[in-house]
Amino acid sequence: MLERFFFISCFILLCGCKQEKKEIFPNQTTVNRTYIQYANGFEIQNQSNGITIIKVLQPWANAETIYTYALVPKEIQATITLNKSDYDAIISTPVENIVVTSTTHIPALEELEVLNSLIGFPDTKYISSKAARNRINSGAIVELGINESLNTEAVLALQPDLIFGFAINDGTSTYETIQRAHIPVVYNGDWVEETPLGKAEWIKFFAPFFNKTKEADAAFNKIEKSYLEAKELASKAENKPTVLSGAMFNDVWYLPGGKSWAANFLKDANADYLWSSTDENGSLSLSWESVLDVGQHAEYWIGPAQLATYQEMEASSQHYTQFDAFKNRKVFSTANTKGETGGTLYYELGPQRPDLVLKDLIHILHPGLLPNYEPYFFKPLL
Protein backbone atom coordinates (compact mmCIF):
# COMPACT_ATOMS: atom_id res chain seq x y z
CA MET A 1 0.00 0.00 0.00
CA LEU A 2 2.90 2.38 0.53
CA GLU A 3 3.25 2.61 -3.24
CA ARG A 4 -0.03 4.53 -3.26
CA PHE A 5 1.48 7.16 -0.98
CA PHE A 6 4.92 7.65 -2.58
CA PHE A 7 4.40 11.31 -3.38
CA ILE A 8 1.85 11.99 -0.64
CA SER A 9 4.55 11.09 1.86
CA CYS A 10 6.53 14.10 0.71
CA PHE A 11 3.93 16.31 2.36
CA ILE A 12 3.05 14.41 5.52
CA LEU A 13 5.50 16.37 7.64
CA LEU A 14 3.37 19.42 6.96
CA CYS A 15 0.21 17.72 8.23
CA GLY A 16 -0.67 18.69 11.77
CA CYS A 17 -3.03 16.84 14.09
CA LYS A 18 -5.41 18.73 16.32
CA GLN A 19 -6.42 16.07 18.85
CA GLU A 20 -5.53 16.44 22.48
CA LYS A 21 -2.87 14.01 23.65
CA LYS A 22 -4.16 11.32 26.00
CA GLU A 23 -2.40 10.23 29.16
CA ILE A 24 -3.23 6.67 30.13
CA PHE A 25 -2.54 5.23 33.57
CA PRO A 26 -3.42 1.51 33.66
CA ASN A 27 -5.05 0.28 36.85
CA GLN A 28 -2.76 -2.74 37.26
CA THR A 29 0.92 -2.72 38.13
CA THR A 30 3.20 -3.27 35.15
CA VAL A 31 5.70 -6.03 35.87
CA ASN A 32 7.82 -5.62 32.75
CA ARG A 33 8.04 -4.04 29.34
CA THR A 34 8.87 -5.77 26.10
CA TYR A 35 12.36 -4.64 25.16
CA ILE A 36 12.13 -2.19 22.25
CA GLN A 37 15.57 -0.93 21.25
CA TYR A 38 15.19 0.82 17.89
CA ALA A 39 11.51 1.61 17.25
CA ASN A 40 10.15 4.89 18.64
CA GLY A 41 6.52 4.49 17.65
CA PHE A 42 5.18 1.95 20.16
CA GLU A 43 5.71 0.38 23.54
CA ILE A 44 4.42 -2.80 25.15
CA GLN A 45 3.67 -3.26 28.86
CA ASN A 46 3.08 -6.72 30.30
CA GLN A 47 1.00 -6.55 33.49
CA SER A 48 0.90 -8.89 36.43
CA ASN A 49 -2.76 -9.72 35.80
CA GLY A 50 -1.97 -11.16 32.35
CA ILE A 51 -3.11 -8.13 30.37
CA THR A 52 -0.83 -6.57 27.76
CA ILE A 53 -1.01 -2.82 27.15
CA ILE A 54 0.20 -1.56 23.79
CA LYS A 55 0.67 2.15 23.19
CA VAL A 56 1.08 3.49 19.67
CA LEU A 57 3.03 6.70 20.13
CA GLN A 58 3.37 7.69 16.47
CA PRO A 59 0.52 6.37 14.32
CA TRP A 60 1.45 8.92 11.63
CA ALA A 61 3.90 11.78 11.21
CA ASN A 62 3.44 14.61 13.74
CA ALA A 63 0.59 12.82 15.49
CA GLU A 64 -0.35 14.30 18.85
CA THR A 65 -2.58 11.46 20.01
CA ILE A 66 -1.33 8.32 21.75
CA TYR A 67 -3.49 5.26 21.10
CA THR A 68 -3.72 2.72 23.89
CA TYR A 69 -4.94 -0.85 23.48
CA ALA A 70 -5.60 -3.50 26.11
CA LEU A 71 -5.02 -7.11 25.07
CA VAL A 72 -6.87 -9.57 27.30
CA PRO A 73 -6.23 -13.34 26.97
CA LYS A 74 -9.49 -15.17 26.30
CA GLU A 75 -8.96 -17.55 29.20
CA ILE A 76 -9.04 -14.71 31.75
CA GLN A 77 -11.52 -12.44 30.00
CA ALA A 78 -14.42 -13.39 32.28
CA THR A 79 -12.42 -12.47 35.38
CA ILE A 80 -11.19 -9.06 34.20
CA THR A 81 -13.03 -5.75 34.38
CA LEU A 82 -11.56 -2.76 32.58
CA ASN A 83 -12.69 0.84 32.25
CA LYS A 84 -13.42 1.10 28.52
CA SER A 85 -12.87 4.85 28.56
CA ASP A 86 -9.19 4.28 29.39
CA TYR A 87 -8.51 2.44 26.15
CA ASP A 88 -9.03 2.97 22.45
CA ALA A 89 -9.85 -0.73 22.14
CA ILE A 90 -10.01 -3.82 24.34
CA ILE A 91 -9.10 -6.92 22.34
CA SER A 92 -9.41 -10.62 23.17
CA THR A 93 -6.30 -12.60 22.31
CA PRO A 94 -5.16 -14.51 20.43
CA VAL A 95 -6.99 -12.95 17.50
CA GLU A 96 -8.10 -15.35 14.78
CA ASN A 97 -9.39 -13.26 11.86
CA ILE A 98 -7.86 -9.92 10.91
CA VAL A 99 -7.69 -7.28 8.20
CA VAL A 100 -4.45 -5.41 7.51
CA THR A 101 -4.15 -2.31 5.34
CA SER A 102 -0.50 -2.04 4.28
CA THR A 103 1.68 -4.49 2.39
CA THR A 104 4.35 -3.84 5.02
CA HIS A 105 2.20 -5.83 7.46
CA ILE A 106 2.29 -8.99 5.34
CA PRO A 107 5.91 -10.13 5.99
CA ALA A 108 5.45 -9.95 9.77
CA LEU A 109 2.37 -12.18 9.55
CA GLU A 110 4.33 -14.64 7.42
CA GLU A 111 7.30 -14.67 9.77
CA LEU A 112 5.04 -15.28 12.77
CA GLU A 113 3.23 -18.03 10.83
CA VAL A 114 -0.17 -16.36 11.25
CA LEU A 115 -0.85 -15.40 7.63
CA ASN A 116 -3.87 -17.72 7.70
CA SER A 117 -5.54 -15.23 10.04
CA LEU A 118 -5.63 -12.61 7.26
CA ILE A 119 -9.09 -12.53 5.68
CA GLY A 120 -9.25 -9.10 4.01
CA PHE A 121 -7.01 -6.46 2.41
CA PRO A 122 -7.53 -3.24 0.39
CA ASP A 123 -5.98 -3.22 -3.12
CA THR A 124 -4.83 -6.84 -3.10
CA LYS A 125 -3.06 -6.30 -6.43
CA TYR A 126 -0.19 -4.64 -4.56
CA ILE A 127 0.58 -7.77 -2.52
CA SER A 128 3.67 -9.62 -3.78
CA SER A 129 4.00 -12.41 -1.19
CA LYS A 130 3.51 -15.76 -2.95
CA ALA A 131 1.81 -17.29 0.08
CA ALA A 132 -0.58 -14.36 0.36
CA ARG A 133 -1.30 -14.42 -3.37
CA ASN A 134 -2.26 -18.09 -3.09
CA ARG A 135 -4.77 -17.15 -0.39
CA ILE A 136 -6.08 -14.29 -2.52
CA ASN A 137 -6.51 -16.59 -5.52
CA SER A 138 -8.35 -19.15 -3.40
CA GLY A 139 -10.72 -16.50 -2.03
CA ALA A 140 -9.38 -16.73 1.52
CA ILE A 141 -8.32 -13.05 1.43
CA VAL A 142 -11.14 -10.74 0.29
CA GLU A 143 -10.62 -7.55 -1.72
CA LEU A 144 -11.75 -4.54 0.35
CA GLY A 145 -11.47 -1.59 -2.03
CA ILE A 146 -8.83 1.02 -1.27
CA ASN A 147 -7.27 2.00 2.03
CA GLU A 148 -8.53 5.59 2.03
CA SER A 149 -12.13 4.42 1.73
CA LEU A 150 -12.45 0.79 2.71
CA ASN A 151 -15.54 -1.02 1.52
CA THR A 152 -17.29 -0.90 4.89
CA GLU A 153 -20.04 -3.29 3.82
CA ALA A 154 -17.44 -5.91 2.90
CA VAL A 155 -15.59 -5.36 6.18
CA LEU A 156 -18.77 -5.68 8.22
CA ALA A 157 -19.66 -8.87 6.35
CA LEU A 158 -16.27 -10.38 7.24
CA GLN A 159 -16.57 -9.45 10.93
CA PRO A 160 -12.81 -9.58 11.64
CA ASP A 161 -11.55 -9.61 15.21
CA LEU A 162 -9.71 -6.38 14.42
CA ILE A 163 -8.24 -4.20 11.68
CA PHE A 164 -4.62 -3.11 11.67
CA GLY A 165 -5.06 0.37 10.26
CA PHE A 166 -2.72 2.53 8.21
CA ALA A 167 -3.29 6.29 8.00
CA ILE A 168 -1.37 9.42 7.06
CA ASN A 169 -3.45 11.64 9.37
CA ASP A 170 -6.43 11.52 11.72
CA GLY A 171 -9.05 12.06 9.02
CA THR A 172 -9.94 8.44 8.28
CA SER A 173 -13.72 8.51 8.70
CA THR A 174 -14.04 4.97 7.35
CA TYR A 175 -12.30 3.61 10.44
CA GLU A 176 -14.75 5.50 12.64
CA THR A 177 -17.66 3.81 10.86
CA ILE A 178 -16.08 0.41 11.38
CA GLN A 179 -15.41 1.09 15.05
CA ARG A 180 -19.05 2.04 15.59
CA ALA A 181 -19.85 -1.49 14.41
CA HIS A 182 -17.72 -2.77 17.33
CA ILE A 183 -14.79 -3.89 15.17
CA PRO A 184 -11.56 -2.59 16.79
CA VAL A 185 -9.09 -0.59 14.68
CA VAL A 186 -5.46 -0.70 15.83
CA TYR A 187 -3.16 1.83 14.19
CA ASN A 188 0.22 0.64 12.93
CA GLY A 189 2.83 3.38 12.45
CA ASP A 190 5.76 1.32 11.19
CA TRP A 191 6.15 3.57 8.16
CA VAL A 192 6.93 6.62 10.34
CA GLU A 193 10.12 5.08 11.76
CA GLU A 194 13.32 6.72 10.56
CA THR A 195 15.80 3.89 11.07
CA PRO A 196 15.97 0.56 9.22
CA LEU A 197 16.01 -1.53 12.38
CA GLY A 198 13.29 0.65 13.88
CA LYS A 199 10.87 -0.32 11.11
CA ALA A 200 11.83 -3.98 11.33
CA GLU A 201 11.23 -4.05 15.08
CA TRP A 202 7.49 -3.56 14.51
CA ILE A 203 7.23 -7.33 14.19
CA LYS A 204 7.18 -7.18 18.00
CA PHE A 205 4.06 -5.00 17.77
CA PHE A 206 2.09 -7.75 16.01
CA ALA A 207 3.30 -10.54 18.28
CA PRO A 208 1.09 -10.04 21.41
CA PHE A 209 -2.09 -10.16 19.34
CA PHE A 210 -1.23 -13.76 18.41
CA ASN A 211 0.69 -14.88 21.53
CA LYS A 212 3.87 -14.94 19.44
CA THR A 213 6.23 -12.75 21.48
CA LYS A 214 9.06 -15.29 21.67
CA GLU A 215 8.86 -15.94 17.94
CA ALA A 216 8.97 -12.22 17.16
CA ASP A 217 11.98 -11.68 19.40
CA ALA A 218 13.84 -14.56 17.75
CA ALA A 219 13.02 -13.34 14.23
CA PHE A 220 14.07 -9.77 14.96
CA ASN A 221 17.31 -10.85 16.66
CA LYS A 222 18.35 -12.68 13.48
CA ILE A 223 17.59 -9.64 11.32
CA GLU A 224 19.43 -7.33 13.72
CA LYS A 225 22.50 -9.58 13.77
CA SER A 226 22.56 -9.81 9.99
CA TYR A 227 22.13 -6.04 9.61
CA LEU A 228 24.83 -5.09 12.11
CA GLU A 229 27.29 -7.53 10.56
CA ALA A 230 26.66 -5.97 7.14
CA LYS A 231 27.08 -2.47 8.57
CA GLU A 232 30.40 -3.48 10.13
CA LEU A 233 31.54 -4.89 6.80
CA ALA A 234 30.64 -1.65 5.02
CA SER A 235 32.62 0.39 7.54
CA LYS A 236 35.78 -1.34 6.29
CA ALA A 237 35.43 0.07 2.78
CA GLU A 238 38.27 2.38 1.86
CA ASN A 239 36.14 4.92 0.02
CA LYS A 240 32.72 6.54 0.46
CA PRO A 241 31.13 6.90 -2.97
CA THR A 242 28.88 9.90 -3.56
CA VAL A 243 25.18 9.15 -4.02
CA LEU A 244 22.22 10.91 -5.63
CA SER A 245 18.63 9.75 -5.12
CA GLY A 246 15.02 10.41 -6.06
CA ALA A 247 13.31 11.68 -9.20
CA MET A 248 10.97 14.37 -10.48
CA PHE A 249 7.19 14.52 -10.32
CA ASN A 250 5.40 17.53 -11.82
CA ASP A 251 8.73 19.38 -12.12
CA VAL A 252 9.54 18.88 -8.42
CA TRP A 253 12.42 16.58 -7.47
CA TYR A 254 11.63 14.44 -4.43
CA LEU A 255 14.50 12.79 -2.59
CA PRO A 256 15.13 11.47 0.92
CA GLY A 257 15.84 13.93 3.71
CA GLY A 258 19.05 13.49 5.69
CA LYS A 259 17.35 11.85 8.67
CA SER A 260 15.02 9.60 6.65
CA TRP A 261 14.83 5.83 6.50
CA ALA A 262 16.45 5.75 3.04
CA ALA A 263 19.25 8.13 4.06
CA ASN A 264 20.05 6.00 7.09
CA PHE A 265 20.52 2.99 4.83
CA LEU A 266 23.07 4.93 2.78
CA LYS A 267 24.82 6.08 5.95
CA ASP A 268 25.11 2.51 7.22
CA ALA A 269 26.32 1.41 3.78
CA ASN A 270 29.23 3.85 4.23
CA ALA A 271 28.18 6.08 1.36
CA ASP A 272 28.35 9.86 1.01
CA TYR A 273 24.72 10.77 0.46
CA LEU A 274 24.91 14.33 -0.80
CA TRP A 275 21.87 15.53 1.19
CA SER A 276 22.78 13.76 4.44
CA SER A 277 23.24 17.06 6.30
CA THR A 278 19.59 18.09 5.88
CA ASP A 279 17.30 17.72 8.91
CA GLU A 280 14.18 16.32 7.24
CA ASN A 281 13.09 12.83 8.23
CA GLY A 282 10.75 12.58 5.22
CA SER A 283 11.28 13.81 1.68
CA LEU A 284 12.88 16.96 0.33
CA SER A 285 11.11 18.84 -2.47
CA LEU A 286 13.66 20.57 -4.70
CA SER A 287 14.04 22.08 -8.15
CA TRP A 288 15.92 20.00 -10.68
CA GLU A 289 18.43 22.83 -11.03
CA SER A 290 19.37 22.66 -7.35
CA VAL A 291 19.70 18.87 -7.54
CA LEU A 292 21.91 19.18 -10.61
CA ASP A 293 24.08 21.74 -8.84
CA VAL A 294 24.78 19.33 -5.98
CA GLY A 295 24.49 15.92 -7.58
CA GLN A 296 25.62 16.23 -11.19
CA HIS A 297 28.88 14.39 -10.51
CA ALA A 298 27.57 11.86 -8.00
CA GLU A 299 29.03 8.42 -8.67
CA TYR A 300 25.80 6.51 -8.06
CA TRP A 301 22.08 7.17 -8.37
CA ILE A 302 20.10 5.01 -5.96
CA GLY A 303 16.31 4.83 -6.18
CA PRO A 304 15.01 6.94 -9.12
CA ALA A 305 11.39 6.46 -8.00
CA GLN A 306 9.59 3.96 -10.26
CA LEU A 307 11.71 4.54 -13.35
CA ALA A 308 12.95 1.15 -14.54
CA THR A 309 14.99 1.77 -17.72
CA TYR A 310 17.37 4.41 -19.06
CA GLN A 311 15.06 4.89 -22.03
CA GLU A 312 12.16 5.53 -19.67
CA MET A 313 14.23 8.02 -17.71
CA GLU A 314 15.25 9.94 -20.79
CA ALA A 315 11.70 10.00 -22.09
CA SER A 316 10.50 11.23 -18.70
CA SER A 317 12.94 14.14 -18.60
CA GLN A 318 15.97 15.19 -20.60
CA HIS A 319 17.34 16.72 -17.40
CA TYR A 320 18.28 13.25 -16.16
CA THR A 321 20.80 12.83 -18.98
CA GLN A 322 22.98 15.61 -17.53
CA PHE A 323 23.97 13.53 -14.49
CA ASP A 324 27.20 11.51 -14.48
CA ALA A 325 25.48 8.52 -12.88
CA PHE A 326 23.09 8.38 -15.83
CA LYS A 327 25.87 8.76 -18.37
CA ASN A 328 27.99 6.10 -16.68
CA ARG A 329 25.06 3.68 -16.27
CA LYS A 330 25.28 3.63 -12.49
CA VAL A 331 21.60 4.01 -11.68
CA PHE A 332 19.97 1.34 -9.50
CA SER A 333 16.28 0.86 -8.83
CA THR A 334 13.82 -1.42 -7.04
CA ALA A 335 11.29 -0.93 -9.85
CA ASN A 336 12.36 -4.08 -11.69
CA THR A 337 11.77 -6.39 -8.72
CA LYS A 338 8.03 -6.98 -8.77
CA GLY A 339 5.54 -9.51 -7.55
CA GLU A 340 3.11 -11.55 -9.61
CA THR A 341 0.61 -8.71 -10.07
CA GLY A 342 3.08 -5.84 -10.40
CA GLY A 343 3.55 -4.80 -6.79
CA THR A 344 7.05 -3.56 -5.95
CA LEU A 345 8.56 -6.11 -3.58
CA TYR A 346 10.78 -3.48 -1.90
CA TYR A 347 7.81 -1.61 -0.45
CA GLU A 348 6.39 -4.80 1.01
CA LEU A 349 9.40 -6.73 2.27
CA GLY A 350 12.13 -4.07 2.53
CA PRO A 351 10.95 -2.61 5.87
CA GLN A 352 10.88 -6.10 7.42
CA ARG A 353 14.24 -7.17 5.95
CA PRO A 354 16.56 -4.15 6.20
CA ASP A 355 19.54 -6.51 6.25
CA LEU A 356 18.79 -7.48 2.65
CA VAL A 357 18.41 -3.83 1.63
CA LEU A 358 21.73 -2.93 3.24
CA LYS A 359 23.52 -5.84 1.59
CA ASP A 360 22.12 -4.76 -1.78
CA LEU A 361 23.58 -1.29 -1.27
CA ILE A 362 26.94 -2.59 -0.09
CA HIS A 363 27.15 -4.86 -3.13
CA ILE A 364 26.47 -1.88 -5.40
CA LEU A 365 28.53 0.81 -3.67
CA HIS A 366 31.51 -1.27 -2.57
CA PRO A 367 32.21 -3.87 -5.26
CA GLY A 368 34.31 -6.65 -3.80
CA LEU A 369 32.97 -6.61 -0.24
CA LEU A 370 30.15 -9.02 -1.13
CA PRO A 371 31.45 -10.55 -4.37
CA ASN A 372 29.09 -13.54 -4.50
CA TYR A 373 26.00 -11.72 -3.28
CA GLU A 374 22.89 -11.71 -5.47
CA PRO A 375 20.97 -8.40 -5.09
CA TYR A 376 17.45 -8.84 -3.77
CA PHE A 377 15.74 -5.47 -4.31
CA PHE A 378 18.08 -2.98 -6.01
CA LYS A 379 19.01 -3.91 -9.58
CA PRO A 380 20.74 -1.97 -12.37
CA LEU A 381 18.40 -0.09 -14.66
CA LEU A 382 17.68 -1.88 -17.92
Mean pLDDT within 233-244: 97
Mean pLDDT within 167-183: 85
Asked if pLDDT for residue 193 goes beyond 90, the answer is yes
- pLDDT band at 90; cut points 50, 70, 90: very high
Q: Which of 274, 264, 281, 275 is nearest to 354 (CA)?
A: 264
Asked if pLDDT for residue 204 goes beyond 60, the answer is yes
Write down all domains in the chain, each with its CATH number in brackets: 2-224 (3.40.50.1980), 235-380 (3.40.50.1980)
pTM: 0.90
Mean pLDDT within 124-152: 93
* Three-class SS of the chain: CHHHHCCHHHHHHHCCCCCCCCCCCCCCCEEEECCCCCCCCEEEEEECCCCEEEEECCCCCCCCCCEEEEEEEHHHHHHCCCCHHHCCEEEEECCCCEEECCHHHHHHHHHCCCHHHEEEECCHHHCCCHHHHHHHHCCCCEECEECCEECHHHHHHHCCCEEEECCCCCCCHHHHHHHHCCCCEEECCHHHCCCHHHHHCCHHHHHHHHCCHHHHHHHHHHHHHHHHHHHHHHCCCCCCCEEEECEEECCEEEEECCCCHHHHHHHHCCCEECCCCCCCCCEEEECHHHHHHHHCCCCEEECCCCCCCHHHHHHHCHHHHHCHHHHCCCEEECCCCECCCCCEHHHHHCCCCHHHHHHHHHHHHCCCCCCCCCCCCCEECC
pLDDT at 29: 56
Q: What is the pLDDT of residues 213-227, one digit of tens each?
A: 999 999 999 999 999
pLDDT at 331: 98
Asked if pLDDT for residue 102 goes beyond 80, the answer is yes
Q: What is the pLDDT of residues 314-353, one digit of tens each?
A: 999 999 999 999 999 999 999 999 999 999 999 999 999 9
Mean pLDDT within 29-55: 89
- pLDDT band at 171; cut points 50, 70, 90: low
pLDDT at 166: 86
- Give percent of the chain above pLDDT 90: 83
User: Does residue 240 or residue 149 have the better pLDDT?
Assistant: 240
